Amino acid sequence: MPGTKGSGTGATPVLLANAEVRVDLALQAIAERRAEERLPEVLVRATDQMIANTWDSDLPSGLATLRARLTASVPALQARLLQRYLTAQAELAQALQRAFPDRLDPITASALVGAMVGAVSASALTALHRGDGPDEVRDAMRQAMALVARSVT
């Protein structure tokens, strides 16, 4: 595929196009926290926004499957994806800490976001690699989200 090797340009913006939208949706969900919402509820709502966007766009189009396959073999894409992943986690952790300043310090907020994003991503990749369809991938991501949410009090 042209543009997937070397400099990381070309196909990379297309493969990562919806990532910005997903992060923005999660940031908005955190920023719109209602006074009565507890930490697990906000974390789940923000994560579910990202899952819903993935299910609406990248899963049915096949983009998520293509991205999973290419990131396993294209170092430039791996590097770009990791850079975006780490930036997104930092942004989400900062937003979560702002939403719960009396409850979260930077380390705890980062750990929660890392646990959630890592669990959901790992579940999605596993489901994609075994050939699951969009509904099954979404269900795997939601199962991971619920697992992490149960550990947050």
State pLDDT tens for residues 35-45.
Answer: 999 999 999 99
State pLDDT tens for residues 71-103.
Answer: 778 888 888 888 988 999 999 999 999 999 999
Q: What is the DSSP string of 74-104?
A: -HHHHHHHHHHHHHHHHHHHHHHHHHSTTT-
User: Nearest Cα to 70, choosing from 78, 62, 59?
Assistant: 78
Tokens of 72: 């396993």
- Mean pLDDT by runs of 10 across the 153 residues of the chain is 40 67 94 94 96 84 82 83 91 97 96 96 93 93 96 88
